[in-house]
Amino acid sequence: MTPTDVLREARHAVRDARFADAIEELDRLRDEGTDPGSPEWYLLRAMALWRLGRFMDSRDTATVALESYRDLGDVDGEMRAGNVAAAGEFALGALDTAQRGFERAMHLAEQLKDRQLTARCANNLGNVAYYRGRHGEALSLYQQASGLFERVGSLAGMIEGWHNTGIVLRDEGDLDGAKNATDRASDAAARLGDQRLLGMVLCGRGETDALRGDPRLGFAHVRRSLDIARGVGDPLTEIEALRVSGMIARLEHRSQDAIRQAQGAVARAAEIGNPWMIGKAEAELAAAFRDAGREEDADAAFGRAAEAFSALGARSRVEALETERTRG
Q: Same domain for 217 and 321?
A: yes
pLDDT at 252 over 90: yes
Residue 37: its pLDDT value, please?
75
End-to-end Cα, the chain, rounded Å = 66
Q: Give 2's pLDDT tier (boundaries 50, 70, 90).
A: very low
The amino acid that residue 242 corresponds to is L
Q: Give 3's pLDDT tier (boundaries 50, 70, 90).
A: very low
Give 111-135 pLDDT, tens digit per residue: 999 999 999 999 999 999 999 999 9
- Residue 206 is assigned to a structural domain of this protein: no
Q: Same domain for 34 and 68?
A: yes
Residue 109: its pLDDT value, please?
98
Segment 290-310 mean pLDDT: 95
The CATH number of whichever domain residue 253 belongs to comes to 1.25.40.10
pLDDT at 243 over 50: yes
Residue 32: its pLDDT value, please?
86
pLDDT, averaged across the chain: 94
Residue 1: its pLDDT value, please?
41
Segment 106-115 mean pLDDT: 97
Segment 301-326 mean pLDDT: 88
The runs of H, that is alpha helices, within the chain are 3-6, 8-15, 19-32, 39-51, 55-72, 75-91, 95-111, 115-131, 135-151, 155-172, 175-192, 195-211, 215-232, 235-251, 255-272, 275-291, 295-312, 315-327
* 8 A C-beta contact, residue 289 and residue 297: yes
Q: Which of 113, 138, 167 is the last residue of a domain?
A: 113
pLDDT at 79 over 60: yes
Q: Same domain for 176 and 270?
A: no
Q: Which of 80, 113, 146 is the last residue of a domain?
A: 113
Which of the residue ranges 124-133, 277-286, 309-318 would you say has the lowest mean pLDDT? 309-318
Q: Same domain for 230 and 184?
A: no
Q: Which of 92, 113, 134 is the last residue of a domain?
A: 113
pLDDT at 150 over 80: yes
Residue 154: its pLDDT value, please?
96
Residue 233: its pLDDT value, please?
94
CA distance 105 to 114: 11
Segment 316-326 mean pLDDT: 84
Quote the number of domains for the chain: 3
Q: Give 313's pLDDT tier (boundaries 50, 70, 90).
A: confident
Q: Same domain for 32 and 76?
A: yes
pLDDT at 286 over 80: yes
Domain that holds residue 104: 1-113
Q: Same domain for 224 and 159?
A: no
Write the CA distances from 139 to 41, 44, 146, 264, integer angstroms: 35, 30, 10, 30
Residue 36: its pLDDT value, please?
65
Segment 261-288 mean pLDDT: 96
CA distance 205 to 61: 34
Q: Same domain for 134 and 91?
A: no
Segment 38-59 mean pLDDT: 96
Which of the residue ranges 55-69, 176-190, 306-320 would you say has the lowest mean pLDDT? 306-320
Percentage of residues in the chain having pLDDT higher than 90 = 90
Give 156-215 pLDDT, tens digit per residue: 999 999 999 999 999 999 999 999 999 999 999 999 999 999 999 999 999 999 999 999
